[in-house]
């Protein structure tokens, strides 16, 4: 099965909050990330969280980490049409020594005016 | 400015031909990666390299080949053995024990 799982689609109205969820299986993950991909482009890092943290806030973005359930979420406050993109959750296994980033399938966020 | 550059942005190939995608980084990163992206399937790892002159297969290496003769460069060759090569290809790089992966802007390969 997949190491990182996400739902494929999320649709919200402009101005509402968006919450994108992710679950992961690697218990040794030290870093967990959220990337944003706009159409036809590469991935850009939005934010990351260390596995010894529960929450990280960065302007409109809030990341919550539940280590017990291996659940990561990204909340975007006051969602704008420019936030429409694919959002990827990713982890890097540092304990195993491989350091290879593993990505979820990506969640397509559609923001309606 | 430091970054990672993929070229070309669009590439067309006839069936039966090999084609090479370029990836160059000037971030002094140790590790480089090639991913393939298909709609609804996320990113799948093709090959990765953590040191010059060494590389490892990822999850879907069949029909692809790579080389790492220089730290800055990690070209990917899509061979005629790759049965379904039409896809978006992304190159990334990281420091070995570092966190963030930096991505190129991708190459869209279409087989005609």
Q: What is the pLDDT of residue A62?
A: 97
Q: What is the pLDDT of residue A1?
A: 40
The most confident of the ranges A64-73, B8-17, B32-41, B67-76 is: B67-76
Mind listing the pLDDT tens digit for each residue in A9-67? 999 999 999 999 999 987 676 789 999 999 889 999 999 998 888 999 999 999 999 98
Of A11, A52, A14, nearest in space to A31 by CA:
A52
Does B50 have pLDDT greater than 80?
A: yes
Q: Which of B33, B45, B106 lies at the smallest CB-CB distance from A42?
A: B106
Whether A34 has its CB under 8 Å from any CB of chain B: the answer is no
**Residues B30/B95, Cβ–Cβ less than 8 Å:** yes
Percent of chain B beyond pLDDT 90? 82
Q: Which of A35, A48, A100 lies at the smallest CB-CB distance from B99?
A: A48
Whole-Å CA distances, A16 to A12, A20, B92? 7, 13, 33
Mind listing the pLDDT tens digit for each residue in B39-48? 877 899 999 9
Tell me how many degrees the CA angle B54-B60-B65 measures, rounded to the nearest 5: 45
Q: What is the pLDDT of residue A102?
A: 87
Token duo for residue A106: 């990506």
Report chain B residues touching chain A, CB-CB < 8 A: 6, 31, 33, 35, 40-43, 45, 48, 50, 90, 92, 94, 96-106, 108
Does B62 have pLDDT greater than 80?
A: yes
For the ranges A3-17, A46-60, A82-96, B30-44, which has the lowest average pLDDT? A82-96
Residue A46 phi/psi, 5° resolution? -95, -50
**Residues A29/A90, Cβ–Cβ less than 8 Å:** no
Residue of A nearest to B6 (CA): A42
**Residues A20/A107, Cβ–Cβ less than 8 Å:** yes
| pLDDT mean over B60-64 | 97
Q: DSSP character for B70?
A: B
Contact call for A104 and B42, based on CB within 8 A: yes
| pLDDT mean over B63-89 | 96
Q: DSSP character for B30?
A: S
């Amino acid at each position: 099965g997949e190491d990182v799982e996400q739902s494929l689609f999320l649709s919200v109205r402009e101005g509402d909050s968006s919450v994108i969820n992710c679950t992961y299986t690697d218990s040794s993950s030290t870093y967990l990330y959220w990337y944003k991909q706009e159409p036809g482009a590469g991935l850009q890092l939005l934010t990351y969280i260390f596995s010894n943290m529960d929450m990280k806030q960065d302007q409109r973005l809030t990341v919550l980490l539940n280590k017990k359930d291996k659940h990561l979420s990204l909340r975007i406050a006051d969602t704008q049409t420019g936030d429409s993109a694919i959002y990827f959750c990713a982890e890097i296994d540092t304990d195993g020594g491989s350091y290879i980033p593993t990505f979820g399938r990506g969640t397509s966020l559609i923001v309606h005016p | 400015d430091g970054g990672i550059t993929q070229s070309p942005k669009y590439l067309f190939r006839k069936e039966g031909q090999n084609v090479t995608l370029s990836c160059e980084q000037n971030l002094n990163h140790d590790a480089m990666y090639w991913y393939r992206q298909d709609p609804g399937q996320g990113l799948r790892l093709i090959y990765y390299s953590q040191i010059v002159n060494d590389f490892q297969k990822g999850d879907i290496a069949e029909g692809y080949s790579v080389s790492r003769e220089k730290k800055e460069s990690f070209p990917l060759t899509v061979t005629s053995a790759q049965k379904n090569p039409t896809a978006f290809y992304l190159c990334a790089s990281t420091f070995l024990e570092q966190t963030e992966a930096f991505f190129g802007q991708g190459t869209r390969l279409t087989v005609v």
